[in-house]
Amino acid sequence: MTFYTSRYTVLGLPPYHPALNPIELVWASLKEYVAKKNVRFRVADVKELCEEFFRDFPVAEWAKRCAHARKCEEEFLKREGNIDAVVDSR
């Protein structure tokens, strides 16, 4: 679903879609980080590891994941016409 205003276009994204939601890509990195470093399997350790991850996670990495999501969105939008043509032909 897309909403248009005079200044912005708001796109409704599919929930939990990693290609279109950069936070899903960051979440995957967080889970990988915790899995590698969690040796005692205590909740307190998981909390500490999460805080450590976000404290040390570079802004450039956030930007990289946002850029990836924008690139995927552009690809989906390019293909949208082709998908509509196939669906409409049925």
How many CB atoms sit inside 10 A of residue 69's CB? 20
In a domain, 2, yes or no: no
Q: In this predicted structure, what is the pLDDT of residue 22? A: 87
Q: Is residue 7 part of a domain?
A: no
Are the C-beta atoms of 31 and 37 separated by less than 8 Å? no
pLDDT tens for 23-77 read 888 999 999 999 999 988 889 999 999 999 999 999 999 999 999 988 988 888 8
Domain count, the chain: 1
The boundaries of the domain holding residue 51 are 15-88
Among 30, 33, 18, 14, CA closest to 68: 18
Residue 16 backbone class (left: φ over 0; alpha: ψ -120 to 50; beta: rest):
left
Higher pLDDT, 15 or 22: 22
Whole-model pTM: value is 0.64
What is the structure's pLDDT at 33?
A: 95
Note the pLDDT of residue 41: 85
